[in-house]
Structure 1
Amino acid sequence: MSPWVLVALAGIMETGWAIGLKYSDGFTRPLPSVLTVLGALASFWMLSVAMKDLPVGTAYAVWVGIGAVGTAVAAVVLFGDPVNLMRVLGVVLILAGIAALKLA
């Protein structure tokens, strides 16, 4: 599998475990807690495999960016987080940074 596909999947998994942290309620709810930890482990594993072939700084930054954007969007949908111009611009800037790193 392409290392960039692994980074993308790892970033999606990062979104999942970040949202899982909210559902785990401070790790007091067993099922969401276990799923969150498993998601984090899967995400880290995929990122580590991708880093065999990709520059560490680029792979990590893209992974974090995908996770941050995914989490921000999911939080709006799932938890009603506010949407305003500054938040949207922040997400656009993160996406621009991911694109720049990928193309560099």
Structure 2
Amino acid sequence: MPFVLLAFAIAFEVTATLSMRASEGFTKPWPSVIVVAGYVISFVFMAKALTSLNVGPVYAIWSALGTIGAFAGGVLLFDEPVKPVTIAGAVIVVVGVIVINLGGGVHQG
């Protein structure tokens, strides 16, 4: 169950981040509302997940998958460029998360 909560936290964080881009500097009201609500909901789900998971690896997963999700969303929704170096960076982020999890795992205890 904690991983489902973490997945929801990531989904809401990515939605909030992409809405921030769509808000055009908080000049558009609906995307701006989604930004605030998305981050609040994301942190609530993250807090619930952290009641039974270790903070370091979970935060690494949350931030890495959030980064990958925002990158992919930017490409798909806003036609942002994809360059080999950005793909390499995404791979490095994922490898880093794997290494962190190998070092301690995500379960408390």
Q: Tell me whether the two structures share a fold, i.e. TM-score over 0.5.
A: yes
Aligned 8 A contact 1:14 1:43 in 2: yes
What is the aligned partner in structure 1 of residue 15 from structure 2?
A: 16
Aligned residue number for residue 28 of structure 2 = 29
Give the root-mean-square deviation of aligned CA atoms: 1.3
Identical columns (%) = 35
Aligned partners of 2:97 and 2:13: how far apart in 1?
15
Match of 2:37 in 1: 38
Please report how far the alpha carbon of residue 52 of structure 1 lies from its aligned counterpart in structure 2 after TM superposition: 0.7
TM-score, length-scaled by structure 1? 0.90
Q: How far, CA to CA, are the matches of 1:8 and 1:63 in structure 2?
A: 8
Whole-Å separation in 1 of the counterparts to 2:4 and 2:94: 17
Query: 1:14 & 1:81 partners in 2: Cα distance?
Result: 19
Task: Extract unaligned runs of 5+ from structure 2.
Answer: none
Task: Identify which range, 89-98 or 30-39, moves more after superposition.
Answer: 89-98
TM-score normalised per structure 2? 0.86
Is the CA contact (8 Å cut-off) linking 1:62 and 1:101 kept in structure 2? no
Aligned residues: 103
